[in-house]
Chain A
Amino acid sequence: MIRMNFVRNHVLVCAGTGCVAAKSKEIMDEFQLQLEKQGLTDEVKVILTGCFGLCALGPIVVVYPEGAFYSELKVEDIATIVEEHILKGRVVKGLLYHETVQEGSDTISGLNETSFYKKQVRVSLRNCGVIDPENIDEYIAYDGYEALAKCLTEMTPEAVIDEILKSGLRGRGGGGFPTGLKWQFAAREKSDIKYICCNADEGDPGAFMDRSVLEGDPHNIIESMAIAGYAIGASQGYIYVRAEYPIAVERMNIAIAQAKEYGFLGQNIFGTGFNFDLEVRLGAGAFVCGEETALMMSIEGNRGEPNPRPPFPAVKGLFGKPTVLNNVETFTNITWILLHGAEAFAAMGTEKSKGTKVFALGGNITNTGLVEVPMGITLREIVDEIGGGVPNGKAFKAAQTGGPSGGCIPCELLDIPIDYDSLISIGSMMGSGGLIVMDEDSCMVDIAKFFLDFTVEESCGKCTPCRIGTKRMLDILEKISEGHGTMEDICALEELSAHIKENSLCGLGQTAPNPVASTLAHFRDEYEAHVLEKRCPAGVCKNLLQYFIIPEKCVGCTLCKRVCPTDAIVGEVKQVHEIIQEKCIKCDACREACKKFNAIVKR
């Protein structure tokens, strides 16, 4: 007889965007298939969940109660896991994340003991990879909607705002404005209609923390927005999500429908007379629409262009009404603060930056993924310990934070405790939390060019400094990387940086020069090498490169000669070959072909 409910294993399959791209849906289906085959479907529950963070090793599956963390799975591996682990109870060591395997012992270490997770503190991401985001009951199991219930029944709106003020929470969308203050301003405005907006546009290249929260813990956003509504006296909210994040949009819509069904959205919530409703609005993927005034223009159905402030949104925002607009990650902290208290939150972090921050770790780093760390941790700890360092034996060169608004941080500054203010003091900024690591093979002029290229593309064109100034800067960077730059160009870059910063209408233009200014400040010699010596020290800028054959290493195998598409290599069999520079198009094919002897170098 099969009885219901004696579930003894939970299989959590990561369904974050990274793992979905790495085939987690197929893995889920295969689990169902194999469990059916073994007659285990009633005792094992398979759950799609949000991002675990260690995206480099996706697809990821965790099997409880053992907490076995399987990584880099293939569909073919599932049959083994079901038969060995689920049926016979033998954890399949060969498929585990290597750091959780203890040599010569049968116990597996907990995830929290691995170097990737050890220094992390999960506040914002606390439910990601833990619950099924499409099941409101699982969210409730982890104290979901308790904070809303507590606010509505035990706290006045002023008391809620007070708690947020005391926590020291600052906006995670980039600016770091104190959230409690923002709420207080909006609460003090007299208006029959007010709005709450959630900024889930997340357009920084490389950042995906907000998207992961929407995918992994959507109810948290709903609950926090309702709390914000109660605090300032708003009964309508909008979540502005890019249409390019389909999984996030789908889960958000499912969550909203469930919350409405349970009466946590709608009229007379918990019988208290408080009303709050939510709608998702889709953005078309323009970076500027993440800027708050442009975002509200876009929700209103206008072209997404920024407006000058003041008036600030708290006074005159969406549809001309007082509006609180917060970032996704900011909202995730609200419920935590109300459940655990402002003191507990303020106990984490630095003097002026409380709590934790999520970073999207990418670039030349072993453990790419999402990490959440207390404010005040050093970049070195993030890069070397959590991130596992720079792979392939290369040396660390710089870390880029803040995306197109941020800057590059050199090795000498890795030990600075990071928070909002320290990052600004070294010419970068927190931004939304993108953290891109670059190794010795990265060219700083090229990096600056990459980000400028992005801002030129994304500038909305409303104000001249941003529209034309950034384009001029890009032109100069291109000139330098092609070997035609002069020292006057470097001065012009500095001058333009200052002007654009000063005169642009919104944050996009005001911060656009940062990638150039910070690389100029910390890596000026590299710019000068491009200009004065017509040399790219990292070997990236093609126009400044030449390929050479080292005669002592060349065995005359003719391989390079055969792969060269322009017949630029000459030499007879068993004789040293040579590259004719005029014919070389620097395609790198010869160097690739000569990996065995390493006789071809670029410099």
Chain B
Amino acid sequence: MAKTIEELRAIREKMRGQIDLRQKGEDNLRVVVGMATCGIAAGARPVLHAFTEEVRRRGLNNVTVGQAGCIGLCQFEPIVEVYAPDAEKVTYVNMDAEKAARVVAEHLVNNRVVAEYTVGAVEGLK
């Protein structure tokens, strides 16, 4: 079917979300899920999926979701780290899919760290 200019631009918008992965912007947020054996055993894969799905659904072009090996705090897995430019790394622990969705909504979209999930809060409880 012949496309109109509007349709051309709609395709572009749709595709941009998919290819942003290949452009490393300066102001990107990076979400890293610990995916060593310990992380995977503790349920890191659903967390990773939740992040990618949520980021995609919201069309957050400035976020990349990646993975890392063992972060070294195996008892707190699944662990997720969020790196933002000009900010301290935030480490979330004992993550699950629902918590992931909340981190996306609050931290990635609104730039408010979800304090209760962070490693600091959890360690403080003990």
Contacts and interface: CB of A to CB of B under 8 A. Distances in A.
Interface of A: 3, 5-10, 12, 43, 64-67, 87-90, 110, 130-131, 137-138, 140-146, 149, 153, 261-264, 266, 268-271
A65 B64 contact: yes
Contact of B53 (A3, A67, A88): A3
Nearest to A47: B22
A88 B8 contact: no
A90 B39 CA distance: 13
A88 to B, nearest CB: 5
A64 B18 CA distance: 12
Interface stretch (B30-38, B84-92, B109-117): B30-38
A353 B102 CA distance: 55
A508 B18 CA distance: 47
19 contacts: A5-B53, A5-B56, A6-B56, A7-B18, A8-B48, A10-B21, A12-B22, A43-B49, A67-B24, A90-B68, A90-B69, A137-B15, A140-B11, A141-B11, A262-B1, A269-B2, A270-B3, A270-B8, A271-B2
A143 B1 CA distance: 20
Interface in B59-93: 64-69
A5 B14 CA distance: 12
A7 B21 contact: yes
B94 interface: no
B56 A142 contact: no
Contacts of B4: 270-271
Contact of B67 (A89, A142, A144, A269): A89
Top 10 A-B pairs, shortest CB-CB distance: A263-B2, A89-B67, A141-B15, A65-B64, A6-B52, A8-B52, A6-B53, A64-B22, A90-B69, A89-B35
B5 interface: yes
B12 interface: yes
Given A10-B22, A67-B24, A89-B34, 10 more contacts: A5-B56, A7-B18, A8-B48, A12-B22, A65-B22, A65-B24, A65-B30, A140-B8, A146-B12, A263-B2
Given A89-B68, A89-B69, A64 B8 contact: no
A65 B21 contact: yes
Contacts of B69: 88-90
A262 B1 CA distance: 6
B125 interface: no
B21 A262 contact: no
Interface of B: 1-5, 8-9, 11-12, 14-16, 18-19, 21-22, 24, 30, 32-36, 48-49, 52-53, 56, 64-69
Contacts of B49: 3, 6, 43
A6 to B, nearest CB: 4
A272 to B, nearest CB: 9
Nearest to B12: A140
A6 B15 CA distance: 14
Nearest to B53: A6
B12 A87 contact: no
B93 to A, nearest CB: 17
Contact of A263 (B1, B30, B34): B1
A66 B66 contact: yes
Nearest to A262: B3
A132 to B, nearest CB: 10
Contacts of A266: 2
Contact of A153 (B5, B9, B52, B65): B5
A110 B8 contact: no
Nearest to A271: B4
Contact of A270 (B5, B12, B24, B34): B5
Contacts of A110: 24
A141 B5 contact: no
Contacts of A269: 2
Given A149-B5, A268-B2, A43 B52 contact: yes
Contact of B12 (A12, A88, A143, A263): A143
A90 B24 CA distance: 18
* Max chain A Cβ within 10 angstroms of own Cβ: one of B19, B33, B36, B48: B19
A520 B4 CA distance: 60
Nearest to B5: A149
A4 to B, nearest CB: 10
* Max chain A Cβ within 10 angstroms of own Cβ: one of B15, B36, B64, B69: B15
Given A10-B22, A153-B5, A263-B1, A89 B52 contact: no
Contacts of A141: 11-12, 15-16, 18-19
A9 B18 CA distance: 10
Contacts of B15: 137-138, 140-141
Contacts of B53: 3, 5-6
A9 B64 CA distance: 10
B78 to A, nearest CB: 13
A144 B33 CA distance: 34
B17 to A, nearest CB: 9
A142 B68 contact: no
